[in-house]
Structure 1
Amino acid sequence: MANQALDTICKQLRDGLSPKERRGFMHLLKRHKELTEMDKITLDLWTKNHPYLGIAYELKESFFALWDSDSTQKAYLNYHV
Structure 2
Amino acid sequence: MFKVLLIIFLIYLAIRWLTKPLLRYAIERMAKKMAEQHGFNTNNQEPIRPRKKEGTIDIDYIPNNQKKSGKSPSEGEYVDYEEVK
Same fold (TM over 0.5): no
Which structure's CA Rg is the greater one? 2
Highest relative contact order (Cα 8 Å, sep 6+), 1 or 2?
Answer: 1
Higher normalized helix content (fraction of residues): 1
> TM-score under structure 2 normalisation?
0.29
Q: TM-score, normalised by structure 1?
A: 0.30
